[in-house]
Structure 1
Amino acid sequence: MTQKHVTLVITHALRPEDADQYEAWLGKIMPVAAEYPGHLGANVIRPADGQGAWNIIIRFDTLEHLYAWTQSETRKQLVDEITPLLAEGDHTEVRTEAAFWFTPPSPHVRQPKQWKQFLITLLVIFPSTNLVPWVTGALFPALQGSLLLHFINDACVVALVVWLWMPIVTRLFAGWLKKA
């Protein structure tokens, strides 16, 4: 049996002075990971002020595709490059539950307040659910009011939220989300 939509959570502990070098390394490894079959997207949760835990969340469509990436010689070589900066090594965890946006994978990273999660989600959902039907209605006027057009609208909204808007908005508002 194949598990769908698996998430790889990678935690790297660094000293704050190594952040720039680590960011450069992320810029190198992330595009390589994205080329692997089944890659659905990645997010980076940068450490809160005074902390050194970086969390990288990478989603794959199947467990087999995730393992193809994690066990690849390419990933091993890239991790070897950054290992001297890692205080606690390359800690990975596979999660098979639904993808998450706000739940930090390590206990010492505080989860944003629920009202902030609500506002960020509303900020993304409201314009998407209003703009997508307007665009699809103009593109497919013959489908107005049909179940097929509703399905197309829903699929577009979910895709935009998961792969475009939520990663952008959570990155833009990361500082605000971390504040008490």
Structure 2
Amino acid sequence: MQRRERSTSSPVTAPEAVVAAAEPVTVTVARDVRGDQREAFERWAAEVLGLAAEFPGNLGTSLLRPGPGSTLYHLVYRFADGESLARWERSTERQAALQRVEHLTDRVDYAHVAGLDSFFTALTPARPGPRWRMTVLTVAAVFGITLVFQLLVSPHVTSWPLPLRLLLSAVIVVVLLGYVVMPALTRLFARWLHPSRY
């Protein structure tokens, strides 16, 4: 699920469909920073990302700096669910921070992504790390979950019809991949996945 919104002055919050999500949610805020305000903006970004990181349910934050010839910064926030995101977006801390940044930027775009898409959308910024690294990490995660399934679960369901065994395997792999394994691995291997950010 993804939705983009654009604003130049008023704060933007996640739509109801995202707030209702019981799955991880990622927000990417792209700000076009005025050329003479980059240092001030980076100080502000460090402050606001630090505030967001302290909120319950936050799974991580990052600042993606513009490439050569660009003034577009990306602030990325990940939350465990839509309600955690909503608490941050409605907070007095965020409202105060937004009032201090408006004169530093000319344009802002918001993107809200929920579910499994958030792992891949959030990790494809303007200067992403090598895609093969995310592929390797995903294959390793699927292999690990599948191996554990074969060792611990398969022996107990051998009498089940093949379609049911495959369905059970698929459900376990997808749920663990989306809610447990990939969130942990992307945080653990963040520097390896995106060396240009650090």
Query: How far is 1:55 from its partner?
Result: 1.1
Change (3 A) 1:156 1:57: same
Q: Point out the more displaced range, 95-104 or 40-49.
A: 95-104
Asked if 1:103 corresponds to 2:124, the answer is yes
Match of 2:111 in 1: 93
Conserved 8 A contact 1:14-1:87 = yes
Q: Which of the numbers 189, 195, 198 marks the counterpart of 1:165?
A: 189
Asked if 1:3 corresponds to 2:22, the answer is yes
Name the CA distance, whole Å, in 2 between partners of 1:119 and 1:97: 21
Q: Point out the more displaced range, 73-82 or 9-18.
A: 9-18
Change (3 A) 1:36 1:156: closer
Name the CA distance, whole Å, in 2 between partners of 1:81 and 1:161: 34
Change (3 A) 1:110 1:4: same
Query: How far is 1:120 from its partner?
Result: 6.4
How many residue pairs end up in the alignment? 147
Structure 1: stretches of 5+ with no match in the other structure: 129-145, 149-153, 176-180
TM-score by length of 2: 0.59
TM-score by length of 1: 0.64
Query: How far is 1:76 from its partner?
Result: 0.9
Structure 2: stretches of 5+ with no match in the other structure: 1-19, 142-150, 154-176
Indicate the SS of the match to 2:123: coil
The code of the aligned residue for 2:123 comes to F
Encode CA deviations 1:95-131: one digit per residue, 9 max, x unaligned: 1132225323xxxx4767xxx31046548988x9xxx
Q: Which has the larger radius of gyration?
A: 2
Conserved 8 A contact 2:28-2:75 = yes
The code of the aligned residue for 1:163 comes to R
Structure with the bigger RCO (C-alpha within 8 Å, sep 6+) is 2
Conserved 8 A contact 2:133-2:193 = no
Query: How far is 1:23 from its partner?
Result: 1.5
Give the alignment's Cα RMSD to 1 decimal: 3.5
